[in-house]
Structure 1
Amino acid sequence: MDTFLTEKGRAVRRSVRGFCERELRPIARQIDQEASFPWEVVEKMGRLGYFGIQVPHELGGAGMDAVCYCVVIEEISRVCAGLGLCVTVHNSVAVYPLMAFGSGEQKRKWVPPLARGQKIGAFCLTEPNAGSDAAGIEATAIRNGDHYIVNANKVFVTNGGVADVCLIFARTDPKAGRKGISVVVAERGTPGFVVGDLEDLCGVRANPVSSIRLYDCPVPAENLLGREGMGLKIGLAALDAGRMGIAAQAVGISQAALEEGVLYARQRRQFGVPIGQHQAVGGMLADMAARVEASRLLVYRSARLRDQGKSFGQAAAMAKLYAAEAASEVTDKALQIHGGYGYSKAYPVERYYRDARVTRIYEGTSEVHRLVVARGLLEE
């Protein structure tokens, strides 16, 4: 598959893979079991530009294209899906909206420390009564002089436990329906900004997912992103980029599961031969490899469209839908190949199995993505 990359893309893959094997592989199992965030490794990732992958050099980023962005996310997720999630959400739905909709002053204030990994970003949309129905949010941001007074209860916030800069979706005009939703940037440490308990998740456990609650939190008016009423436009644009990143994460998880399945099928012997020589196991490996390659091609396609300045939302939705569903299938087959050992934490495939499952939920469920793809087909 590297033949589809430029020399720069192949160099990026080699570099990121080497880093992940050295720095993440030795601790991946531990940070999953302990649900701990590896700050020391994250700081190194920041210095390498992983938190500002597509940010221009003048703002402290790595200045890469979208294809290289997907390669970075895939390689991190291949070793540790929790950190892959951290990096993709930070880049795609925190930094990207600031780059796309922020004023010059807002970019200068927030983007450089985010791009260097000195601050972590979060996207705060989901609430107890609003998930797939983004227009159903109940949070409010009411203008009071030179501040907005924000009240919000955001749940399942990726990076929430460590986030410094949070994009809060709230109603600035409660009577205006969908057109009354805006985005304000709230920073940790502001009075009324409360980080809730970390979620005890099934998978991606190295990511500190939590609730973020704001109680009469005063946010400066200049922290409004774009204009009032642009919230859903900003959110949908961010989620297009986010879907591509989560699809790349799913590819990384699938690739890891495939590699473990092949390794085990070569080593494990039954009936006098390695189990990979048995037709049933070989067939599973073939199906897994096809799903991984197809997923990666869809991801690269969406990224190339984005790099060409073309509409990529439909392609990203297809990539996310297929790659997430494929990840569940590939990891399930990898676990099956391992038999009883696959159900044991002594082998990494059970972690891949758990990590893959959530890719069908966040950044839009598979059901929502089917609606998005179908709507795009019918509107052509």
Structure 2
Amino acid sequence: MDFDFCAETEEMRDMVTRFAHRELAAPAAFDAGDFRRRWSRAGRQGLVGSSLPVAYGGSGLDALTCAAMMEALGLSCTDVGFAFSVAAHLFAAATPIAEFGTEEQKKHWLPALGSGEQIAAHCITEPEAGSDALSLRTRAVREGSAYRLTGSKCFTTNSPVADVFVVQAVTDPDGGFFGLSTFLVEAGTPGLTVGRRYDKVGLRGSPMADVHLDGCLVPDTHLLGAEGSGAAVFSCSMKWERICLFAIYLGAMKRVLDSTVAHVRDREQFGTPVGGFQAVSHRVVDMMARYESARLLLYKAAKGLADGVDDEVAPALAKIAVSEAAVQIGLDAIQLRGASGVLDGEAESLLRDALPARIFSGTNEIQKNNAARALGLGTRRRTAVRSR
């Protein structure tokens, strides 16, 4: 087992760190123009197209290297919401186009998505279909050489600024797993509207809103994959997202952990640094153990994805471990800072940004279901019938 990155990956991580420090500082309040400016710069740096094939303008990085890049981004970009938007665009929307798109679709969309010229949004969650992704109410009805889409999506990352929407819709209400299909819908398509941007507790730098589809007519050339393959497209996007996106939280945790260690070394009470108190030092060690454990699980999952291993357990465990560790480290960092921890700063920001991580990309409870199902739990074993 080699826990070191190769020299080329380390060089790319250093580049991302320097770039983010220099170019990706968050504004005091969300501004769509500033978001676009930073997005374009991240595109020129190769961040928004890192996993896309080189033939279509991407960097062609595998999942392991992409996770390393996202970790460096989370470490150096204090606007975790912006980093989250980059990862959601790349892994939940652009990568499925690279995996399932026709040659014409890839040539049309991937260069602009990989360069930062365009932004993508993945539309899956609905008011009545969050964890139960097979109960979508958005319908796509075939009309000649097109499909008419009707329905509403919610909590759609990047929707207020998106140029293309990757939309999951039901084409066969009785088809179950094979009843979903995926469509590429361009912004400005008649019948597509985006609601007001959410005011959220965390991930404030990531614009999210509802998306409404009121009879959108989409040509069948914008069907991603075959009709009925929407669940497979969704599964692909979630596998990449649950691993590579969550590497951002590894970087954010490390940044807050390092500053917390520095704080308890310097902060004095009763004439001694508070880091010398066992209650404080043990909490710091617990923080480090959570971070290191989550990191190992995530990179194990990333290695499996890079190697093409068909594994539901590793991504689920990585997502659970990273999200739970991020929340607890946020709580610990606030506690160890005392009253200053509840003021505006990186400790409370980590907690706010980490809270949604237990919910999006499939709740942690759903991840446990996924892992349990992969282990064969809850299914009755067949027993051999003895012949007499």
TM-score range, shorter chain: over 0.9
- CA gap of 1:132–1:259, structure 2 versus 1, over 3 A, is same
TM-score (norm 2): 0.92
In structure 2, what is the Cα distance between the partners aligned to 1:240 and 1:353? 24
More off after superposition, 77-86 vs 139-148: 77-86
TM-score (norm 1): 0.94
Equivalent positions of 1:56-71 (< 5 A) are 56-71=53-68
Q: Deviations over 1:234-269 (max 9, x none)?
A: 111211111112321221221122122112112211
Equivalent positions of 1:24-103 (< 5 A) are 24=24, 27-28=25-26, 30-31=27-28, 33-34=29-30, 38-78=35-75, 79-103=78-102
Residue number in structure 2 paired with 1:367: 365
In structure 1, what is the Cα distance between the partners aligned to 2:35 and 2:266? 32
In structure 2, what is the Cα distance between the partners aligned to 1:341 and 1:285? 17
In structure 2, what is the Cα distance between the partners aligned to 1:10 and 1:193? 43
In structure 2, what is the Cα distance between the partners aligned to 1:246 and 1:374? 23
Equivalent positions of 1:217-256 (< 5 A) are 217-256=216-255
Is the contact made by 2:312 and 2:371 (CA closer than 8 Å) also made in structure 1? no
Is the contact made by 1:77 and 1:83 (CA closer than 8 Å) also made in structure 2? no
Work out which of the two has the higher radius of gyration on C-alpha atoms and give 1 or 2: 2
Equivalent positions of 1:345-356 (< 5 A) are 345=344, 347-356=345-354
Amino acid at match of 1:23: E
Q: Deviations over 1:273-293 (max 9, x none)?
A: 221121111111111111111
CA RMSD of aligned residues (A): 1.8
Is the contact made by 1:54 and 1:64 (CA closer than 8 Å) also made in structure 2? yes
Amino acid at match of 1:321: I
Q: Unaligned 5+ residue runs, structure 1?
A: none
Residue number in structure 2 paired with 1:105: 104
More off after superposition, 241-250 vs 117-126: 241-250
In structure 2, what is the Cα distance between the partners aligned to 1:268 and 1:39? 40
User: 1:64 Cα shift?
Assistant: 1.6
- CA gap of 1:274–1:35, structure 2 versus 1, over 3 A, is farther
In structure 2, what is the Cα distance between the partners aligned to 1:48 and 1:212? 30
Q: Deviations over 1:93-123 (max 9, x none)?
A: 1011111111111111111110111111111
* Identity level (%): 36
Residue number in structure 1 paired with 2:133: 134
In structure 1, what is the Cα distance between the partners aligned to 2:31 and 2:349? 12
Is the contact made by 1:246 and 1:320 (CA closer than 8 Å) also made in structure 2? no
Q: Unaligned 5+ residue runs, structure 2?
A: 380-388
Amino acid at match of 1:14: D
Is the contact made by 2:63 and 2:244 (CA closer than 8 Å) also made in structure 1? no
Is the contact made by 1:163 and 1:188 (CA closer than 8 Å) also made in structure 2? yes
User: 1:369 Cα shift?
Assistant: 0.7
Residue number in structure 2 paired with 1:114: 113
- CA gap of 1:162–1:349, structure 2 versus 1, over 3 A, is same
User: 1:3 Cα shift?
Assistant: 4.8
In structure 2, what is the Cα distance between the partners aligned to 1:378 and 1:176? 24
- CA gap of 1:130–1:35, structure 2 versus 1, over 3 A, is farther
Is the contact made by 1:148 and 1:219 (CA closer than 8 Å) also made in structure 2? yes
How many pairs are equivalent? 375
Is the contact made by 2:57 and 2:111 (CA closer than 8 Å) also made in structure 1? yes
